[in-house]
Structure 1
């Protein structure tokens, strides 16, 4: 597999939201992007604020843009804030330097897209993103 199709994207979202329900998290928003950064699917749970789609997209798009998770981008922002601020303005979809955006790889390690989640703590957002990937047999890029 070298791409995420709509059925897989929806399954990722369903698994991520199920994980959020199991953990009793605040309302989540989940975005799945293809490897080129284009949205495949998005869902915003009831009660999620109106900016959440952009935030989730920024986590996933930023991860794809720099080739690392949005958690790693957060670490980079502490070390090189001017670099991250500059790159943020260049990319389509923006960049959110906080955990919850994870690059999706197939069994061969090929990048097939990314998932971005926002709504609860960044650690919880990331846990749900990883659950979404696992549900369709994808792995997070190391």
Structure 2
């Protein structure tokens, strides 16, 4: 698979949300983008606060645009805040450089898209996102 299909995106969203329910997490929101940062799928759990689309999309979009997951973005922001600020300006403010954003790769290692999960702690967002990506047969890089 050299791209995230709509079916794969739906699997990612469903499995990430199901993981959150099973783990008794707060209501999650999940965004899936293609390798160009364009939205493929988004869902917000019942009870998730407003504004979660922008956070989930920003995590996914930033991961694809920078080629590094949310955890690495956070670390880069701590070490070089000017770089993340400049990148965020270049991408019209669409970066959310915190854990819960993933670069998604196929088995060959090619970047096929990104995923953003938000709603609980960073660690829980990461666990839910990874569960969804793995369920779709893809590789999560957070």
Distance 1:83 1:59 in 2: 16
Runs of 4+ displaced beyond 6 Å: none
Q: Is the Cα contact below 8 Å between 1:2 and 1:112 reproduced in 2? A: yes
Query: Within the alignment, does 1:116 sit opposite 2:116 as a pair?
Result: yes
Cα RMSD for the two superposed structures:
1.2
Map of 1:103 onto structure 2? 103
| C-alpha spacing 1:93/1:2, structure 2 compared with 1 (3 Å) | farther
TM-score (norm: length of structure 1): 0.96
* Cα offset, 1:51, TM superposition: 0.9
Query: Within the alignment, does 1:60 sit opposite 2:60 as a pair?
Result: yes
* Cα offset, 1:141, TM superposition: 3.5
Q: Is the Cα contact below 8 Å between 2:31 and 2:56 reproduced in 1? A: yes
Query: Within the alignment, does 1:22 sit opposite 2:13 as a pair?
Result: no
Distance 1:67 1:92 in 2: 17
TM-score (norm: length of structure 2): 0.96
SS of 1:4's partner is coil
Distance 2:31 2:141 in 1: 17
How many matched pairs? 142
Map of 2:77 onto structure 1? 77
Map of 1:135 onto structure 2? 135
| 5+ long unaligned stretches in structure 1 | none
SS of 1:50's partner is coil
Map of 2:34 onto structure 1? 34
* Cα offset, 1:90, TM superposition: 1.3
| 5+ long unaligned stretches in structure 2 | none
